[in-house]
């Protein structure tokens, strides 16, 4: 679940990741994040908006396939192709589409140059630390209008109630998804 520890040896990394050999280099959670706290916090957001995880997952899967968001003030666009596939950290097999593309869901008032700056989050080996730091700052600025999704997110959300941790570059921000998918029955809406 956590990012690579930088041990320099693949076998050592696998051991440090509890034997999971399909670990995410960037992690599903930040180094200091608690899985239970992240799931609980996001559960409260879902509940606050009057929807359910399975409903979000089904609507997200449909939006990814169509390449269009139900709420017209939001757009979905593929910003990066991946160098590989990411499996489910719970090691589910065949229940989901593996993560192979990075899609941005964003409010139409987001500036393109801001979105392109976020690409630095996903290329750590090609990005200087100051560029990466600026990308994280930009992501915090856009947190109410932007979410990252990959094809595995419908599975993670629907089956594991997991949007990924706030420190993960792959965080599918639940407030944004609920609004973009037109599922907010209570709480904030555009």
pLDDT per residue as tens digits for the range 99-133 = 678 899 999 999 988 998 888 887 766 778 888 88
Q: Are 126 and 117 in contact (CB under 8 A)?
A: no
More confident residue, 55 or 138: 55
Closest CA to 71 of 177, 187, 188: 177
Q: How far is residue 120's CA from residue 37's CA, in Å, rounded to a whole number?
A: 27
Report phi then psi at 88, rounded to 5: -70, 130
Non-local CB neighbours of 126 within 8 Å, separated by 6+ positions = none
pLDDT tens digits, 130-180: 888 888 888 889 989 999 999 899 999 999 999 999 988 889 999 999 999
pLDDT of residue 52 exceeding 80 = yes
Extract the tokens encoding 173: 């921000």
């Amino acid at each position: 679940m956590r990012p690579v520890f930088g041990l320099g040896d693949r076998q050592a990394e696998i051991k440090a990741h509890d034997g999971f050999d399909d670990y995410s280099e960037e992690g599903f959670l930040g180094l200091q994040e608690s899985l239970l706290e992240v799931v609980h916090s996001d559960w409260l957001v879902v509940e606050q908006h009057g929807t359910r995880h399975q409903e979000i997952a089904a609507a997200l899967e449909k939006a990814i396939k169509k390449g269009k968001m139900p709420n017209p003030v939001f757009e979905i666009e593929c910003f990066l192709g991946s160098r590989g596939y990411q499996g489910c950290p719970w090691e589910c097999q065949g229940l989901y589409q593996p993560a192979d593309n990075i899609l941005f869901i964003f409010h139409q008032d987001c500036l393109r140059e801001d979105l392109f700056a976020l690409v630095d989050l996903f290329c750590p080996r090609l990005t200087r630390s100051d560029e990466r730091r600026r990308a994280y700052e930009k992501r915090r600025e856009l947190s109410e209008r932007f979410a990252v999704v990959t094809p595995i997110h419908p599975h993670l959300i629907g089956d594991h109630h997991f949007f990924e941790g706030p420190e993960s570059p792959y965080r599918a921000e639940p407030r944004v998804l609920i609004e973009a998918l037109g599922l907010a029955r209570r709480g904030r809406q555009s």
